Chains A and B, each alone.
Chain A
């Protein structure tokens, strides 16, 4: 066996950190799904809300990207 416990911990930690991306997936799906639900009820109002849709998706996604960053830090910087 090569490597050590700290090395193993890094890989396990990086893997665990990627679970956070699932949360981003839920969040982005929630935003997009609700947008679609609203847009189908009132299609004429939908184009005006595209900017809000993207901002919402971006905010939801950012927190998932943070966990991706943690994974990268564990893999390459720690």
Chain B
């Protein structure tokens, strides 16, 4: 990326919030491309790794503290943990069938990680880890590779029958097979980009509108607009975590579900 970002229009550039920067690093430079944001090694602690670690801590806190004092009549924290568990368990059982419940822990892990990444990103001055494709692509690829491997392990070469649509007339089956194969390989792309795109777009919109607050006449309107969009983004954050999880379940169904589905 050779072009330098010129700060001419808005006071804050809406995409500046997605810059990965090293922690424990001080710079005098005002430019977004300085020694803290370039030349990052895999072992550097960045804001991405920090907020992912915070997400893991939050998940652990919710589940460990929630189930510490188990009671027949659940306390509030226990209810939260139980509701999350029950919600995902129902989803896995409904979508993938009884066989898929074996893979519930992985789906639960994915859901909580994506949910915490999305929701923690809405805190002011925080960083949305799930807005980066470097985070969501591995998540989607793990599902893709896992489901493909699982499909072949459980069904053997019969897994390939998924691409041969027997309910269609014989003449168009080859065409359908090509389309099915393409759509199968587009899955991880759309799976990851949907999450990253939604998160990035929402946060950029908030930042763009917040940038108008420097104009005194419209600033009261801007405060209202940012509040409204913030509420919408909270909904989007939860819905996208839900969608990511339910798509994982849908893909899992292809591998573990009934062959005559």
Residue positions of A touching B, CB distance < 8 A: 51, 54-55, 57-59, 61-63, 65-66, 68-69, 72, 76-77
Contacts and interface: CB of A to CB of B under 8 A. Distances in A.
Nearest to A68: B197
Given A76-B1, A76-B15, A77-B1, A69 B243 contact: no
Q: Chain B's interface: helix, strand, loop or mixed, by majority?
A: helix
Interface residues of B, number: 18
B110 interface: no
B10 to A, nearest CB: 14
B194 A61 contact: yes
B64 interface: no
Contact of B95 (A51, A57, A63, A66): A51
B247 interface: yes
B193 A72 contact: no
B201 A54 contact: no
Interface in B230-247: 239, 242-243, 246-247
A68 B201 contact: yes
6 contacts: A51-B95, A55-B250, A57-B243, A58-B247, A66-B190, A77-B1
Contacts of B201: 65, 68
A13 to B, nearest CB: 15
A69 B246 contact: no
Q: Chain A's interface: helix, strand, loop or mixed, by majority?
A: helix
B112 interface: no
A48 to B, nearest CB: 8
B200 interface: yes
Contacts of A63: 190
B197 A55 contact: no
B247 A69 contact: no
B99 interface: no
Interface string B1-38: 10000000000000100000000000000000000000
A73 to B, nearest CB: 11
A11 to B, nearest CB: 12
